[in-house]
Amino acid sequence: MLFFHRKGIKPIKSVIQVDTIDADLRKRSVECFYVLATNLGPYNLMVDFCLGYFKGRLDDFHGDETLGDIQRTILHGEWYEVYDVLEFTVQKIDSVHATDFVENCNAALEKEISGYRFIGNKITKSHPKSKSAKSNWH
């Protein structure tokens, strides 16, 4: 527990995020995406996002702009769009990277008290008593 939590300056998170995503979870989701993009090499993934997710045209493709669009969607989009981006990502990458990405995402979702987890390559609402959601629900 950090100092500001012990002193009661900032409350400890205890509300499960179901139909909302706070700034901390959004930031962690961007981190998960960037770790993957760094390990994978982002070009092919950016093309997939440009054509498949954002419905752009290949002749209009600019990798840096697409990466910026992904970041903006995660940081400022609707709560469900964040999960759409994460789910779209895991469906477009190889199984080795997908396993690592899902583990990183699930750790972030648990830490930030999200009501969702990856089960396989789909984001699913988790339940406090679910064995698939290894979380300490308060």
Query: pTM (2 decimals)?
Result: 0.83
Q: What is the pLDDT of residues 6-56, one digit of tens each?
A: 777 777 777 899 999 999 999 999 999 999 988 887 788 999 999 999 998
Q: What is the pLDDT of residues 99-137, one digit of tens each?
A: 999 999 999 999 999 999 999 999 999 866 544 434 443
Phi, psi of 124 (to 5 degrees): -130, 145
